[in-house]
Amino acid sequence: MRADRRGAASGLAALLCLIWLAPGCATHSGGERAVADSLYFGTAIRGGGEVRPREWQAFIDEVVTPRFPQGISSWQAAGQWRNRAGRVEKEPSHVLLIVHPDSLDDEQRIREIVSIYKQRFRQEAVLRVRSPARVSF
């Protein structure tokens, strides 16, 4: 494993530990309830091509950051999924983690992010995993 992947993997492990352990830890530190949304974005464009790194960064800058300026985490992944036709597709992916209050406004912002990505990059789906969390700083 290359050094940059090891660093990303250890950072991801630490982040996941924070999220999974936060409910227990937050009880002692007065953490606040929140939602952790993990969004999985494939990069293969229907009809050919791939979402390039600069296009991903532009999407983060133009679509995600204005909706969640308080902060996000993003990393690359190797994804696979079964499409509507029943075929397993493998493609480079991006994972976006957004920890936010459980509010209708933030729910709408998450849905907008997913919708815009699907439209902009001709995606069939964006996987969303929504988990309860407790956060403290």
Residues 79-124: tens digit of each pLDDT: 998 888 999 989 999 999 999 999 999 999 999 999 999 999 999 8
**In angstroms, rounded to a whole number, what is the distance separating the alpha carbons of residues 62 and 52?**
15
Domains of the chain with CATH codes: 3-135 (3.30.70.120)
Residues 12-38: tens digit of each pLDDT: 544 544 444 444 444 455 689 999 999
pLDDT of residue 69: 97
Q: What is the pTM of this model?
A: 0.76
The answer to whether 133 and 38 are in contact (CB under 8 A) is no
Spell out the residues 6+ positions from residue 43 whose beta carbon is closer than 8 angstroms to its own: 50, 51, 56, 91, 92, 93, 94, 121
pLDDT of residue 23: 47
Structure tokens at 16: 């996941």
